Amino acid sequence: MGVMGDGTGILPDNMTKQATPLTPASEEQDIYFSELLGYTVDRLGREPELLRAEQDQLARQVQETSVTNYRSFITTAQCLVGLQQQLGEMAASLDALDADLPKLQAAADAFRRDGMSLNARREANRRLYAAHPGLLDLLEIPALMDTCIRSGNFDEALDLRAYANKLSVVHGELPIVRHLVEDVASTSDAMLEQLLARLAGAIQLPECLRVIGFLRRLALFPETELRLHFLQRREAWIASMAADLDDRSAYEFLKRLTDVYRLHVFDVTMQYRAIFADSAPSTTNLPSTNDDGGILSAWAERRIAAYLDAVASHLPQITDGGGLASVLDHVMYCGASLGRVGLDFRPLIAPLFEAAALRLFSSGLASSNDALSTMLENHRWVAMSSAGSRAAQLRQQQGEQQQNKAGEEGGAEEKGTDLGPPPPTLVEHPPLAVYANGLLAALNELRHCAPYLIRESAASALQNSLLGAVAAVVHVQAVRTLNETEQPVFKAACTALITALCPYISACFDRLFPGSAALLDLQAVAAELSQA
């Protein structure tokens, strides 16, 4: 107890200093204190010495260890210094990393979004690759359709068009389908033009039925407009054929034009009726206007009007009666043929030929009067010798034979009523003979095409011609002084004009128009001459 009372305690100072940091909670301290409590006083007295001995031993061991491992201590110290520096740098790096973490987060988010977008595109490309054969087939539809159209396979082209339209109904919101439908519509327009162009060519009824069937499947026109397009294209074809005809010869042009209308207007009318079936067959044979609003009738009227205009414009160019009669026969046959489909235009064509015949006759009469006036200007009124008379008579007979050649081909039915040659007295007066030949030539030209309705107009023209001849003869007497030798010859010519030429021409006119001799007032002609 005295030991503890001196203030030093039982433990040395160094032990006290070493034990100070220990805490009661330490397990080793608890064990050591438990051991101390179990020692005796003597053992406790020796404990400081034992502890010093152990301390010395440990110091020696530490010293030995330090000597032995001094390099390790140096290295450890160096590592510690380096570790402290690295930890400082690491702390700075961690601070920088902490500052850059938001940027890293943003970059990661952007990368994630880009990755998702790329993944979506990759998935879309994968699906596109998987659907590539089908898409390629879709994209080739317009080209395939165009190939079918060019080769004339319109059925296949229309099937492709129907498939494209079906796709537009089911998947019309897809851009590729919209693009496909636009291309197909453009190709359909080309097919429409090609089909309509076929209608403007030389095609028969079966081909017309096929073309109209294709147009109906296209469904681009209502029925009425489809009929209009059909007639317009067929009309364009007929008009093109008429325009290709050579019109340098009016005779050949009118005959060929008539053939064009006779064949093709008839065909178009029958094709229209067969294709569109306006009405049930009737006994009238007239173009039906009940179901088509008169489309066919209006078209036929326009075509016939164009034909009549062409005939009217070219008839004046025909200068011979035979050609006029031949064209008339051709036209009448055409009218009778078209009459089977209700397009008989013969009543409309008659006035044109009547005017042409009258114009031709009037032209011949005018030429005769001009020839008479020309000869009267320089004619010497002297009696012809017998030789000269025979020569003039021979020339007149030759002229009559040439001018009556067509009449001699008339047949045996006309032989019984042949008027014979002109009176021989006309041969003695060459101007009258020439005039008579001109009148006979005009009558012969008229004989080929002599419509009965123009007899009054023809009689009036002939009457005026005879009066003109009298006026020409009277003019000679007025402007020339005839001597005693010329006076009798001139009077004989006047007598022959009234008593021989006029009755003969009247008989010829009556032969041409039976019962029409009374239309010629020969007394007025004689009175005109007697008054002079």
Distance CA 431, CA 493 (A): 9
User: Tell me: the pLDDT tens digits for 85-112?
Assistant: 999 889 888 888 888 889 889 999 999 9
pLDDT mean over 515-525: 89
Amino acid letter, 350: A
What does the pLDDT read at residue 418? 60
pLDDT mean over 13-38: 65
pLDDT mean over 109-123: 91
User: Tell me: the pLDDT tens digits for 393-441?
Assistant: 444 454 445 445 444 444 333 444 566 778 888 888 899 999 999 999 9
Q: How confident is the model at residue 19 (pLDDT cuts 50, 70, 90)?
A: very low
pLDDT mean over 136-165: 86
What does the pLDDT read at residue 391? 44
Closest CA to 135 of 344, 425, 127: 127
Q: Is the pLDDT of residue 280 over 60?
A: no
Q: Is the pLDDT of residue 193 over 50?
A: yes
User: Tell me: the pLDDT tens digits for 344-380?
Assistant: 999 999 999 999 999 999 999 999 999 999 998 888 8
Higher pLDDT, 287 or 147: 147
Distance CA 532, CA 206 (A): 77
CA gyration radius for the chain? Answer: 66
Higher pLDDT, 251 or 173: 251
Q: Are 321 and 449 in contact (CB under 8 A)?
A: yes
Cβ neighbours of residue 198 under 8 Å, at least 6 residues apart? 207, 211
pLDDT mean over 141-150: 87
Q: Is the pLDDT of residue 184 over 90?
A: no
Q: Find the helix packing angle between 205-218 and 154-170, rounded to 10°.
A: 10
Q: Is the pLDDT of residue 286 over 90?
A: no
What does the pLDDT read at residue 41? 83
Q: How confident is the model at residue 202 (pLDDT cuts 50, 70, 90)?
A: confident
Q: How confident is the model at residue 259 (pLDDT cuts 50, 70, 90)?
A: very high
In the chain, the percentage of residues whose pLDDT exceeds 90 is 38
| Structure token pair of residue 415 | 């032989």
User: Tell me: the pLDDT tens digits for 73-88?
Assistant: 888 888 998 899 999 8
**Coil, helix or strand at residue 513:** coil
pLDDT mean over 508-518: 90
Distance CA 83, CA 263 (A): 117
- The model carries a pTM of 0.67
Cβ neighbours of residue 451 under 8 Å, at least 6 residues apart? 350, 353, 354, 357
| Mean of all residue pLDDT scores within the chain | 83
Backbone conformation region of residue 294, classed left if phi is above 0, alpha if psi is from -120 to 50, else beta:
left
Q: How confident is the model at residue 529 (pLDDT cuts 50, 70, 90)?
A: confident
The H or E element spanning position 18 is helix 13-19
Amino acid letter, 391: A
**Coil, helix or strand at residue 468:** helix
What does the pLDDT read at residue 237? 92
Domain residue extents for the chain: 2-68, 136-220, 239-344, 357-404+421-531
| Other CB atoms within 10 Å distance of the CB of residue 361 | 25
The CB-side HSE value for 310 (13 A sphere, CA atoms) comes to 25
What does the pLDDT read at residue 8? 41
Q: Is the pLDDT of residue 153 over 60?
A: yes
189-218 exposure pattern, b = at least 16 Cβ within 10 A, e = fewer: eebbebbbebbbeebeeeebeebbebbeeb
pLDDT mean over 184-211: 89
User: Tell me: the pLDDT tens digits for 27-72?
Assistant: 888 888 888 888 888 888 888 888 889 899 988 888 888 888 888 8
Distance CA 276, CA 213 (A): 11
Q: How confident is the model at residue 444 (pLDDT cuts 50, 70, 90)?
A: very high
Dihedral sign from CA coordinates of 333, 338, 342, 345: negative
Distance CA 18, CA 48 (A): 13
pLDDT mean over 210-230: 90
